[in-house]
A and B are shown apart, each in its own frame.
Chain A
Amino acid sequence: MLKQIEGSRAVAEAVALCRPEVICAYPISPQTHIVEALGELVKGGELSPCEFINVESEFAAMSVAIGAAAAGARSYTATASQGLLFMAEAVYNAAGLGLPIVMTVANRAIGAPINIWNDHTDVMSQRDCGWILLFAETNQEALDLHIEAFRLAQALSLPVMVCMDGFILTHAYERVDMPSQEQVDAFLPPFDPRQVLDPERPVSMGAMVGPEAFMEVRYLEHVRQMRALELIPGWAEQFRDAFGRDSGGLMHAYRTEDAETIVVALGSVLGTIKDTVDEMRAKGDRIGVLGITCFRPWPANAVRDALAGAKRIVVVEKSIAVGLGGIVSANVRTSFAGHADTVHTVVAGLGGRAITRQSLAGVFASAAAGTLPPLTFLDLDHGLVERALARERETRHSGPVAEGLLRDVGLVAAKIS
């Protein structure tokens, strides 16, 4: 059924359709609307049977999900940014134990400096933890990916994160097609975990594993995650048949067939990039865009095939590996047969900085002209940066970096006078 609702609401309704049994929640912007909506559905009796637990921290949230999933209940939680870091130990624990938990991450920057706006540094900090990572381009895809996530999680006995851009998607009202309970039930089988704590058949979970077997356990985790690459494409087809639209899959390629320049990105920025691509195509530029939906496992072969014909790749990413450069671009480089120099990193949108068609068109044109550096920070205020560096050169006691910048930008009262 078509609805015009907030992205968070769409995700909450989709999660509810997946018949979760234990939902645990700790508030953090910008995910709160999701768990608030789910809490209402449980309290009001519309989502039943379901236990909704208000926990005391994100670490507790993931831990409660671990206990519930281990005891055979379909479990769900949501977090962002600092919360994801706070539960990091438990995040790795869930993957290592092979528990089919689904979690929404409403992507938000990580402090310091504290910032509540969107970027991908939170999930990227956990990119190698063993969870399957899916990225939504639109609110429609966000709700669809949750249905796929629950199915993937239980099929592979691996936890799955569904990433959606904080505020940009979570707090945007747009049209979504909400499936019916029957449709979801047909796509998502009843919860039947591989391992379960049950007095009838006692098992021990979480034993110590020493050098004699740890390599093998970790290898099996890797193998299991790679299986997602086989399952996801087939399921995307099933999804299209069942729900009538293209959602999920490993990636979405747009106008890449004859493209000389291919842009690669994750998440909602793909929409703006597609508009930019259309404008440039209208002027004769051979440019296309590849949206990665499944980031972990990294779909190496599919990416390699999609990028094969391009002369240059521009990776636009809302993340940064401090001290190195791009994170997504580093992953892309492993799957591009061309010269490593032809993969350009454009770090954009950190901490919620707006990404505009105009700026994107600029870097794309620059790439085509061969003048784009290997690493660019989109719309960086060079003046601001230079002045900050000058301040640090002038005096040892230059004070907190952020305050100095903000004062320069004029957002903080410089003096009381």
Chain B
Amino acid sequence: MFQIRIHGRGGQGVVTAAEMLSVAAFIEGHHAQAFPSFGSERTGAPVVAYCRIDDREIRLREPILEPDAIIIQDPTLLNQVDVFGGLRREGFVLINTSRTFEALGLGEFAAQFPPRHVCTVPATEIALKLIGRPLPNAALLGGFAAATGRITLESVSAAIREKFSGRVAEGNVAAAAESFAHVRREKEELDHAQAD
């Protein structure tokens, strides 16, 4: 089973991200479960959503306490919520930011994980450019696909098109593709750096 935890704020599409992720996994023939940790509707409040992916029926209903991957849609949560709690040793981290891990004060933290497992992507900027709104959720899924290889960009795009339609869908698909490319580049640069 692969468990993903997504952190963000109300209004950023965190819950939708988890749902689309589960649809992408479903499209690839996996079992997937997505659910939010709930509160009354309130824009701006910290929100957590969960997604489990497996190749057999998922029976577990507890919150994801030991995620294999963490996606952070809003880095302002870093000082407010324990976003990394329980992250597995070989876990993945994907942060929506245009800064580096060091600049975020996470240099030492990131060093604990395999370098290719900790990625950043300026998803909000990409979303603003390609969708016209600062909604980074779909873009981040593209980044997630590149970072973990657990789902393909094609499945992410199909999931986006199931949820949205018309220009909104295509904008989000484009944002996911650009994020995918960004993260893939990041990892390739790391490979070259290590090869040197």
Contacts and interface: CB of A to CB of B under 8 A. Distances in A.
A117 B38 contact: yes
A39 B42 CA distance: 25
Interface string B10-23: 00000000110011
Interface in B1-47: 18-19, 22-23, 26-27, 31-36, 38, 40
Contacts of B40: 29, 116
19 contacts: A4-B23, A167-B36, A172-B34, A173-B23, A173-B32, A173-B34, A174-B22, A174-B34, A174-B58, A175-B31, A271-B58, A272-B59, A272-B62, A275-B59, A275-B60, A355-B61, A355-B62, A356-B63, A357-B60
A167 B35 contact: yes
Question: Interface size class for chain A?
Answer: 20 to 34
A272 B173 CA distance: 35
B26 A171 contact: no
A172 B35 contact: yes
Given A167-B36, A171-B36, A269-B61, 6 more contacts: A4-B26, A29-B40, A167-B38, A175-B26, A272-B60, A275-B60
Contacts of A168: 35, 61
Given A4-B22, A4-B26, A171 B61 contact: no
Interface string B63-83: 101000000000000000000
Contact of A171 (B32, B38, B62, B63): B38
A235 to B, nearest CB: 23
A83 interface: no
Given A6-B19, A173-B19, A173-B22, A354 B62 contact: yes
A167 B15 CA distance: 12
Contact of B61 (A116, A175, A271): A271
Interface residues of B, number: 21
B60 A116 contact: no
Contacts, number: 64
B33 A172 contact: yes
Contacts of B60: 271-272, 275, 357
B61 to A, nearest CB: 5
Contacts of A272: 59-62
Nearest to B31: A175
A274 interface: yes
A173 B61 contact: no
Residue with the greatest number of chain B CB neighbours at <10 A, chosen from A269, A275, A352: A275
Nearest to A7: B35
A49 B38 CA distance: 36
Contacts of B23: 4, 173
A171 B58 CA distance: 16
A376 interface: no
Contact of B62 (A4, A172, A357): A357
The 3 closest A-B CB pairs, nearest first, are: A271-B59, A4-B26, A172-B35
Interface of B: 18-19, 22-23, 26-27, 31-36, 38, 40, 58-63, 65
B59 A171 contact: no
Interface string A269-286: 111101100000000000
A268 interface: yes
Interface string A1-26: 01010100000000000000000000
A168, A175, A355, A356 pick with most chain B CB within 10 angstroms: A175
Contacts of A2: 26
Contacts of A274: 59
Contacts of A30: 38
A274 B58 CA distance: 11
Interface in A351-371: 352, 354-357
A109 to B, nearest CB: 12
Interface centre among B31, B58, B62 (most CB of A within 10 A): B62
A78 B36 CA distance: 22
Contacts of A268: 61
Interface string A154-184: 0000000000000110011111000000000
Contacts of A175: 26, 31-32
Contacts of A117: 38
Contacts of A355: 61-62
Given A173-B19, A175-B26, A354 B33 contact: no
A30 B63 CA distance: 18
Contacts of A4: 22-23, 26-27, 32
A254 to B, nearest CB: 10
B35 A354 contact: no
Nearest to A267: B61
Nearest to B19: A173
A294 B118 CA distance: 48
Nearest to A2: B26
B181 to A, nearest CB: 26
A354 B38 CA distance: 12
A333 B19 CA distance: 41
A354 B64 CA distance: 10
Nearest to B51: A173
A117 B18 CA distance: 20
B26 to A, nearest CB: 4
B62 A356 contact: yes
B33 A174 contact: yes
B38 A116 contact: yes
Interface in A326-365: 352, 354-357
